[in-house]
A and B are shown apart, each in its own frame.
Chain A
């Protein structure tokens, strides 16, 4: 394998792995905060016990999430030297702000929540839970701002510097909101909530099936079901809006996700199909006419551009940019000869740098495309799972109304076995989004192959292998710890009169002598 493939593999793998833990913490944090608030309101101790139990599971996740998140923060520099230099002016800020605004908050208050229960008031403890939830969501926001800028860059110009060309910020807010941040944030964070919701439903179903902690599990299941139903149905709307936005700003990605090689008017939605990357064709097994045009343009007769045409269009842009380079170079020479003002020269220089970047980045052929079948398959599975989640929660709501939900074995088994599915959906969604962004690192500005570090291939091969080994070991230990904690279950204490702060279940006995 070559350096680029190894570097991409390492980044993809570590990001994928990191995202096995993050979505659950996103969902759990909010659910814990809501449970704590419910406890403050109605003083039902079950809510508090549930929150403490979930926070223990949260902590097991969070530890791995933090540790593997550190990898992501460092990897831009270690493996994507040219990229980091190119976008540092813009891309570094959201990462720094994530640390400053979100990560400090989350990490500091999780310590307070886990170890401080017997030292602070119930109100403060609930506040800490909300700060953890706020921190995790803000953290997602800043990371998605950075990612969205790679997908739909805005608020920048290109300049030449002694250390090579680079993108420079011109408008901070434009770069922050760009064209996709908001919807990507809603879609992604909501996905985290679904992961958390299904996880809690599954764990509660397990207790009901095993006939353990029944009272607590009933409350937990009902709460998680209502929560998950709301976020699963909301996700269908967010998903649609996100698809609409991708069609507008990243048509090539959308064409790959839908497996459309040829441009179609009134395009059909291909529900089931097999993409052949070698022959450049998609065998469609089941399709719904017009639906794709409706979904992506909200118009049944709209033209949906295919991969072949899009690649041709990009080559056209590359050609035009190349012509522009020549014109601008002449203009620049003229300006310099006539002693024009510094601003004028700088403006032309910047236009020239952008034209050069575009001429290079848009000059793509079919060979530069990623595996279309991978993008197509992961995207479709994600969508099907999304509808499955909404269907399961609707089924649950129906059973809840009939009052049979706690004894319906089919439902309980379904939610228990569904625990891994949202993890698959979120990670497949990211594969579709990131593999679908190829061949660009920054859409239309920088190709992925131009962003990599200059390393001896052996170094990266070594780190890839080492990552695989330790990440596998960590996952085994992680699963062991999670399963053990779930089997042990929440610590219930039903001696009602004692205030919760004295309950042995929740005392962490962090300290002998209180201040």
Chain B
């Protein structure tokens, strides 16, 4: 493992950026996963259970994205500026989808009409599926490389982002979120929804492995530079190892009927997946396909040491507090959910 990672502010912030990504993927990740299931059940009652399962917590979970965006802006402003403006339409599509998701929660039950509810369910599904897909696509593009110049100005179009490899990484992301969401539902639901979640847990498990292998082969051919870190720093193998351990646990608990524990498997797999990509890219945050010198790395795109220090201290103080009350709220809502109640 490169020593400088732990001794420099930039390196610490690279890890912290990873923490926020993991935080988002682990919390809102299961929201996205449960939401993707919406259209696979026709029954209104079952759909309502899917909403209720995440209703009290999704809002706090989404803050990981908002805080993560803010953290990126504060710690690596050039990357924030280059990626958000470069991926303009993609970012806005994610945004509109998330807006739809937020509104659907609140408004689905405001009118007792099947058409009304069905419309919101589709908006809700798009609001979960599209971000789940595009997050992976965005990360894929950043690490594989996009045409950015020395100033960080993006010279491609929306369709540049839809190359096969990043798209495949988007698919991996969808299966990852689905796995995690199903594991969450196995804890939170009973009856029909539970059975559906078990079925989709298997589907997403094999979908994840399949898409991961295909992506891997494609990347070996098209972006071999993503593997060089793993030859240079053997300790980085921890990350892919986590994916494998997570997958083994997921299948073991799922097939063994220990449904409350399946989520441990998907948690490890999610952490492993995020870290695997981060370690592959290190120290590059956004790769330039025009010239390697234009790569945005943690060294040339970071904020000043004053800002990084202030933000580090604030994070070290407030992150534990956030985790403390988040855990408390999750404990309050422990147990299975029903179709009653929720949002009226």
Q: Chain A, 438-482, contact with B by CB distance < 8 Å: what is the 0/1 string?
A: 000000000000000111000100110010001000100100110
List CB contacts (< 8 Å) of A150-176 with chain B. 162-164, 166, 168-170, 172
- The stretch among A94-102, A276-284, A371-379 that forms the contact with chain B is A94-102
Q: Kindly supply a per-residue 1/0 record for chain A positions 112-123, scoring 1 wherever the CB is within 8 Å of any chain B CB and 0 otherwise.
A: 101110011000
Contact A474 B99 (CB under 8 A): yes
Distance of A470 Cα from B304 Cα, bound (Å): 39
Q: Does B263 lie at the interface of the complex (its beta carbon under 8 Å from any beta carbon of A)?
A: no
Any A CB within 8 A of the CB of B229: no
Instruction: State whether the Cβ of B220 lies closer than 8 Å to any Cβ in chain A.
Output: no
A459 and B303 alpha carbons, distance in the complex (Å)? 29
A-B contact pairs, 19 of them (CB 8 A): A59-B343, A63-B102, A70-B66, A77-B69, A81-B81, A88-B77, A89-B304, A96-B75, A97-B314, A100-B322, A111-B57, A163-B301, A172-B307, A453-B85, A511-B333, A512-B336, A512-B337, A512-B338, A513-B336
Structural contact, A85 and B78, CB atoms closer than 8 A: yes
Q: Are B315 and A459 in contact (CB under 8 A)?
A: no
Whether A74 and B341, one on each chain, are in contact in the complex, defined by CB atoms closer than 8 angstroms, is no
Assess the B80–A511 pair: CB atoms within 8 A: no
Interfacial chain B residues near A62, Cβ < 8 Å:
59
The 7 closest A-B pairs by CB, nearest first: A88-B77, A77-B84, A99-B67, A509-B341, A92-B74, A92-B73, A96-B70
In the complex, identify which listed stretch (B3-11, B139-147, B148-156, B166-174) lies at the interface while the others stay far away.
Answer: B148-156
Q: Which residues on the B side are within 8 Å of A93 (C-beta)? A: 74, 307, 310-311
Q: B161 to nearest A CB, angstroms?
A: 13
Q: Which residues of B contact A316 (CB under 8 A)?
A: none
Pick from B67, B91, B318, B333: contact of A74, CB under 8 Å? B91
Q: 4 new A-B pairs (CB below 8 Å) besides A74-B95, A77-B91, A169-B310?
A: A56-B344, A88-B77, A115-B341, A470-B96
Q: Does B222 contact A (CB under 8 A)?
A: no
Tell me which residues across on chain A come within 8 A of B81, comparing CB atoms. Answer: 77, 81-82, 84-85, 88
Of A81, A455, A466, A474, chain B has the most CB atoms within 10 Å of the CB of A81
Q: Residues of A contacting B65 with CB < 8 Å?
A: 70
Interfacial chain A residues near B338, Cβ < 8 Å: 509, 511-512
The yes or no answer to B159 lying at the interface (CB within 8 A) is no
Residues of chain A with a CB closer than 8 A to B75's CB: 92, 96
Q: Mark B122-152, 1 if CB is under 8 A from A, else 0.
A: 0000000000000000000000000000111
Distance of A513 Cα from B69 Cα, bound (Å): 37
Residue A137 lies at the interface, judged by CB distance under 8 Å to chain B: no
Of B192-200, B232-240, B266-274, B324-332, the stretch lying at the interface with chain A is B324-332
Interchain nearest-CB distance for B18 vs A (Å): 15
Q: Which of B72, B88, B151 contacts A455 (CB 8 A)?
A: B88
Q: Shortest distance in angstroms between B328's beta carbon and chain A's nearest beta carbon?
A: 8
Task: Tell me if B44 counts as interface (CB < 8 A to partner A).
Answer: no
Interface residues of B in 78-112 (CB under 8 A from A): 78, 80-85, 88-89, 91-92, 95-96, 98-100, 102-103, 105-107, 110
Task: Decide yes or no whether B255 CB sits under 8 A from chain A.
Answer: no
Contacts of A236 in B (CB 8 A): none
Contact A70 to B95, CB < 8 A, known contacts A103-B63, A114-B56, A163-B78: yes
A88, B70: Cβ atoms under 8 Å?
A: no
A68 lies within 8 A of chain B by Cβ: yes
Q: Is the CB of A67 within 8 A of B98?
A: yes
**Which of B73, B315, B326, B332 is A119 in contact with, Cβ under 8 Å?**
B332
Knowing A108-B329, A116-B333 are in contact, say whether A63-B70 is a contact too (CB < 8 A): no
The answer to whether the Cβ of B245 comes within 8 Å of any Cβ in the partner chain is no
Give the distance in Å from the alpha carbon of A112 to the alpha carbon of B82 in the complex: 37
Once the chains bind, are B332 and A463 in contact (CB under 8 Å)? no
CA distance A67 to B80 in the complex (A): 20
Residues of B near A474 (CB, < 8 A) are 99, 103
B304 — nearest CB in chain A belongs to which residue? A168
Contact indicator A90/B307 (Cβ below 8 Å):
yes
Q: How far is the CB of A311 from chain B (nearest CB, A)?
A: 31
One of A84, A96, A166, A463 near B311 (C-beta < 8 A): A96
Interface residue count on the B side (C-beta < 8 Å): 77
Closest Cβ neighbor of B96 among chain A residues: A470
Minimal beta-carbon separation of A132 from chain B (angstroms): 11
Within 8 Å CB of B83, what residues of A? 77
CB-CB < 8 A to A74: which residues of B?
69, 84, 91-92, 95
Cβ B69 vs Cβ A78 within 8 A: no
Across-interface contacts of B301 in A (CB, < 8 A): 163
Given the contacts A88-B74, A92-B303, A453-B85, A510 and B66 also touching, CB distance less than 8 Å: no
Residue contact A103 to B66, C-beta cutoff 8 Å: yes
Which one, B56, B335, B342, contacts A112 given CB within 8 A? B56
Contact check, A100 vs B314: say whether CB atoms are below 8 A apart.
yes
CB-defined contacts of B89 to chain A, threshold 8 Å: 459, 462-463
Q: Is the CB of A510 within 8 A of B151?
A: no
Q: Are A101 and B80 in contact (CB under 8 A)?
A: no
Closest to A460 in B: B88
Q: Is the CB of A104 within 8 A of B106?
A: no
Query: Are B73 and A78 touching (Cβ within 8 A)?
Result: no
Asked whether A214 is an interface residue with its Cβ less than 8 Å from the other chain, the reply is no
Flag if B105 contacts A63 (CB, 8 Å): yes
- Chain A residues closer than 8 Å to B73, beta-carbon distance: 76-77, 84, 88, 91-92, 95-96
Please tell me if the beta carbons of A66 and B341 are within 8 angstroms of each other in the complex. Answer: no
Min CB–CB distance B301 → chain A (angstroms): 8
Q: Give the distance to chain A from B59, nearest Cβ to Cβ, in Å.
A: 4
B150–A172 contact, CB under 8 A? no
A64 is an interface residue with CB less than 8 A from chain B? yes
A515 at the interface (CB under 8 A from B): yes
Bound together, the chains give a CA A484 to CA B329 distance in angstroms of: 30
Nearest chain B CB to A318's CB is how many angstroms away?
Answer: 25
- Complex CA distance for A112 and B55, rounded to whole angstroms: 10
Quick check: A77 and B80 within 8 Å, CB to CB?
Answer: yes
CB under 8 Å from chain B, chain A span 493-515: 507-515
User: How many angstroms from the CA of A116 to the CA of B55 in the assembled complex?
Assistant: 11
Would A104 and B85 count as touching, CB distance under 8 A?
A: no
Fill in one digit per residue for B46-73: 1 if any A CB lies within 8 Å of its CB, else 0. Answer: 0000001001110110110111111111
| Contacts A67-B103, A77-B73, A508-B342 given; does A108 touch B326 at CB 8 Å | yes
Tell whether A6 is near chain B: CB-to-CB under 8 Å. no
Minimal Cβ-Cβ distance residue in B for A82: B81
Contact of A107 among B52, B62, B152, B337 (CB under 8 A): B62
Q: How far is the CA of A326 from the CA of B340 in the complex (A)?
A: 74
B306 CB-CB contact with A under 8 Å: yes
Whether B333 pairs with A103 at a CB distance below 8 angstroms is no
Whether the Cβ atoms of A109 and B105 lie closer than 8 Å is: no
Chain A residues whose CB sits within 8 angstroms of the CB of B84 once the complex forms = 74, 76-78, 81, 84
User: With the chains together, A105 CA to B306 CA distance in Å?
Assistant: 26
Q: How far is the CA of A226 from the CA of B66 in the complex (A)?
A: 36
What chain B residues lie within 8 Å of A116 (beta carbons)? 56, 329, 332-333
**Interface presence of B260 (CB below 8 A):** no
Q: Does A205 contact B (CB under 8 A)?
A: no
- 0/1 interface trace, chain B 278-309, chain A, CB 8 Å (1 if under): 00000000000000000000001101101100
Closest B residue to A471 using CB positions: B99
